[in-house]
Chain A
């Protein structure tokens, strides 16, 4: 009896697949270390899948775009890097079979110079804790490395490097993401990387079925990961306040202001704002006209949505720029206007007198730390919540101006960073209620010298005073807090908010016009009206301008302040125990510390709401594209089929109605026999005859070598079969 010894099939290694590699890997007498180096550097088989290449390059381009989107790189750099990337990949795709060795040397030199450039810029820009200034060079380094590397990606392993490079780009970009809508880019990138990973896997196993299973596994794993991650973000408490001894502060370029101690318009040249009495007009980028000596409430204009600064803060709040105390019916000014010099470097201690708060009030209050990362030219004002006690700013001098303004010697431009530590003087409504009970003097504890300025009115305002008294009566308001609330509620009922209000007529009084004529206005009119009404009742009040806290970015833990977040509100005197307290008549909604998960949810919902049509259109286009792709590939695939396969395809289509499909190992007669057993066909003699004739003709066409020799015969048979097939599908 013959025995056959079973021989174990040796597993083919990569090297055996590629003769060139195996040649190198012939481990002779060479030392192990050289062998290992050679093994690592052995050329791998070239990657021939164009689809995989395109998908990965698209992923990298998306990463570069993400960096551009978050303003890490300029548009020019974006175009430049993308072009280099595309050209490089085309180059490596063409030369994949015999890559040039000299290109590696050029690429090594280029990569080294990019790295050195990064080191230089990081050393130049990085100061204590200045994360954004490190991120930008890092993004450039990543981008240029991937772009340079794209000239040398012949093999699959190299392509996977490109893919991981794109992951780095996305990570760098998302660290600087503006808001949650950046998630769309991340989702797009995830989609592309899933496709490429699946393609990589698919070609390795060479089996469609298992690749499909792998895709399902990958997707379900990703879904689980996403759900878990999202749940963690939702339940995670908000980040803890910073605990650090020194705080970030830096200046990119020192450009001294022309008038030390004075105020600039912060690079934002107002381009023709509408003057009183004139319609139209616009204000450019960050230039809110309130951050200057006077605040003219007669000016009109709109503000852009450009991000002008990002704030890392213990707590959100109104970032106060300055306050005004003197009103002339149209504009606010500060009296006295003299400035005072302050020294220190980089830490400045702010004297109590700055805010005019009673000093005893400030002891033992919680401290808030706010770091401002400036992203656009701003006036030389330092912002911060009430009441600043310490400032970190990299200069030896600061100026204290009137109305709590802290001014710098240099122009404040993108890249400037400073930190403000403030005491939180805000009190709760209950505290405010009790601090100034009914019957106490409204001016209780106010320094004598401020009495005149903080109750100042340019004219008697009879109409306004009568209205205010009327409102107080109507609401039975007695204490300061009750009066403020009463006036705010009344305005909330009778006034309307709008940014598009008609220009102020010349010589008209802004408050009078707002309260009795237009009854519509934005924060400037609303807050001015409240100040005037309060002052007419004898309550000290002043106008405050600055920015609202802005939108919170849960990814970066930063508040993003846009130019349009500029705001005006009111400070009211609450006696020696309360000091100056903020109140916002425009929107007296109290701020709460946000939870990251809720914000993401809210942002996503609002994004979907605002972009519903775009999303729907994109979806429809995608579905259409998939349908077109599937149809064309089916048509092309069908054309490529041999005649026998075409007939089977048609029969399968026919059989699909009865859920009968041809198995590859099944002969046509067996298949047709199965079809004949179907209930709908069983009793129809003509159908059975048709099927039998198709079977005979098919056999003759496919397996009869005599027929195959005769072209006419073959064509005739084919025509007959397809004719029969059409008749067959029509008959049921």
Chain B
């Protein structure tokens, strides 16, 4: 059961590898697999919620010797979010991607990436996490340049260089960590961090790991690779990246901070808050100054990352729960916005805000999809972004971080501004001289995933109460790692 989120995409990859150029077969395999994956992920979430943390030792080698696979409710929630995005994207790509890219096996690398992401969420071993990161990165490198267009190759070169640098820092951190602690199991490492006085070199290891994750999650000084590469591939790829890739970095950061760092360590939590403030403001201001839809949304990803890091920096139960809520909200909303941008760009043939308009009259349905997602991102009640930002602000005020809370509210205002910039440019603006004849209309299979995501976003907002109950339990699990350590090492409450 625990290994299924890795094994199912792997099985699909085998079939896709031998499918040759039979594109219809590939599409059927892809949609069926992602549906199965979604069902399995929901099943895992229910089981983790009822029976507690699921642990499996690969090959029967008990922790801390072997590699253990661990699913706690944080992992399970993210598995479900990944499966939802995977399901939507596999349907969108059926019609939303050209034949040429399907022939070079888009779906094969799609499932490679899903497998890497799921693996990173599941594993309980830090070196294994590095391996899954690399699986995910290799697949994403290929997806980034699939189609070999000039722009894509240039974006791919920039993306690849910075990601590789991040991976190498990650690996160097793992090396130093192992050299001093003598173990790679996350739970065992966490126990060592709590019990033994570790040498100062461990701080270097932690700094290397945090830098690596900051690069992956596009936090403040390391965000520049994202806006110069994310808009180059077609929307079927960039929506997948926007929804999932940066969140894996945040996931790893949350794991490391909650398991390794001392709860009263002012330095790291203060640093996280400073980084989050800069990330929010810089991303939002830069997003407002762009004129390409996809670049606005790319900078917006960076700005939203700041909120997640801020919730982690508060390090209170409410802060962490709000950050996870915001993460789920962000995965769904960001994917949906890129999907809508993809539909718009396909019909318009361009992504430039100045050159389009009148969508409100022509396609009211798609306008509604955009409107709901944009309002959710901007944070209007009763949509999901409002609750995320409200809870984060509440957590900030409760833990007496007034300045950063103020910055986050200020950023929310800029968010409203740039979401309305797209709204005006594409949907609301009246233009007489646009000819609609002879353009491709949006296909049903492209609108359906977006509708599905919008329904989920509405549920996340309107049903915030029950969702938040699960999240508070999750935050409790994260803030008190003794449960995690206990179930991995089978210790009886040694902490």
Partners in one complex: no
- Residues on A facing B (Cβ under 8 Å): none
